[in-house]
Amino acid sequence: MVLADASASGPDQEEPDDLVEDESQQDDEGLVDIGDSTLKYFGADFDVAGLVRRLVDGDIAVPRFDPDESEGSSLEGFQRKRVWTNSRMEKFIESLLLGWPVPSIFLVLDVDQRYLVLDGQQRLTSLRCFFEGRYPAGREFVLKDVAEHLQDATYATLNTESKRRLNNTFIQATVVEPTGPEGHESVYRLFGRLNSGGVILTPQEIRVALYRGPIVDWLRQLNSDSSWRSLFGAPHNRLKDHELVLRVMAMREVIEKMDGHWADGALRLIVYRPPMSEFLNKFLGNHRELQDFDADGLRAAFSSACTAVLRTMGQDGLKLAGRLNAAHVDAVLGALTYLSYRNEMPQDAVVTQGIRHLRDSEDYSLFVARSTSHRENVYGRLSAALAAFRA
């Protein structure tokens, strides 16, 4: 299996068997210079007790994404699955109790004046769990693999001196405040540069934090579609499935704007501009509140497209050469979702014939094999897929 961010996978990482090609690998050119006018930043020191209090009060939001674990929490589903082991959480607490330095955290001041954590979520989660006396899974948080004088301690059983030392320890933070219409895009680029240590966040994990709201809720609903789940497989710990759904819907919008005008060079320059990472960010920003957006109709069209592929081609219906290829997925489902939304869904025989034609096409293979975020390859695969399903 080839994965763009394999080095970031943790010990409890679950991967689909054969997902290949990721926009983050191809979009190094997306990390361009950041305009000073879109970001303000300053340093701040937070005492540990104050950080935990802010977490409990909801004044600090930890951007993870795990609807199952977040039920009943104030974070409303924007959770990424915990990736630190219990032992690693204990080591972090031990470092604080011993007075050792720990890495700083990276916060974004959101429009509602809450702090959004983009680097440091595992450290903050560990602090809250230790103060509350429970690991995320519910077991009692007891220090085990630590210095001898701290073994078997909980927060409640720490002596007064140790508890004060922990409560009053300061953790450095860089606080960033986006300004202007391009502020969130600048934060995305900045974090791409800063996100180099610990458990590295994927581009999609950054997106669901920065653009959280109705559009992310909507994408999560699409990602839970039963036919899509059969085609992709088990939910992905690092949101690759969520990112693919986003790509499909963004490519559907490209097809909608380009259908009938594929030869219009000026229009092509406007509708899609690489890199893919920035294009997906703009899609989320443009539709963040689902404004001027037929969410229900598009959700039904996506479900219909997935169901058609599953019904005609089986669970491997989106695979190309035995693998899931992101560029192939966004072309096939993007075209079928577009046609379904227009009430032009092809008959099953045409879906079958179209997918087989794309798999056998040498020209199409080039569009989805390399440089898949380049404009000509995006338009090439989308126009080929649309033509195949209109045959």
> Is 220's pLDDT higher than 70?
yes
Query: Is residue 263 pLDDT above 60, yes or no?
Result: yes
Q: Which two tokens stand for residue 338?
A: 């577009």
Domain count, the chain: 2
Q: What is the mean pLDDT of the chain?
A: 84
Query: What is the pLDDT at residue 176?
Result: 85
Percent share of the chain, pLDDT over 90: 63
The verdict on 49 and 135 lying in the same domain is yes
Residue 222 included in any domain: yes
Report pLDDT for 70. Answer: 41
Here the tokens at position 287 are 């539709």
With respect to residue 117, please indicate whether it lies within any of the assigned structural domains: yes
In a domain, 376, yes or no: yes
Q: What is the pLDDT of residue 317?
A: 98
Same domain, yes or no: 174 and 254? no
Read off the DSSP letter of residue 158. Answer: S
Residue 3 lies in a domain: no
Say what the pLDDT of residue 18 is.
54
Q: Quick one: average pLDDT of 159-166?
A: 95
* Per-residue pLDDT at 12: 37
3-state helix, strand, coil in the chain (%, to 5): 50, 10, 35
Domain-located, residue 377 = yes
Q: 176: domain range?
A: 33-199
Confidence at 121, pLDDT banded by 50, 70, 90: confident
Q: What six digits make up the tokens of 221?
A: 């609903």
- Say if residue 73's pLDDT is above 90: no
| Domain termination site, one of 164, 199, 234 | 199
Residue 179 confidence (pLDDT): 74
Q: Are residues 174 and 291 in the same domain?
A: no
Token pair 């092509």: residue: 268
Which of the residue ranges 132-136, 171-175, 206-210, 350-354 would you say has the lowest mean pLDDT?
206-210
Residue 26 in domain: no
Which stretch of 4-8, 24-28, 76-80, 317-321 has the lowest confidence by average pLDDT? 4-8
Q: Which of 199, 224, 247 is the last residue of a domain?
A: 199
Q: Which of 169, 199, 229 is the last residue of a domain?
A: 199
Do 255 and 121 share a structural domain?
no
User: Which region holds residue 388: left if phi is over 0, alpha if psi is between -120 and 50, else beta?
Assistant: alpha
Answer yes or no: is pLDDT of 215 > 80. yes
The answer to whether position 28 is within a domain reads no
pLDDT at 9: 34
Residues 78 and 153 occupy one common structural domain? yes
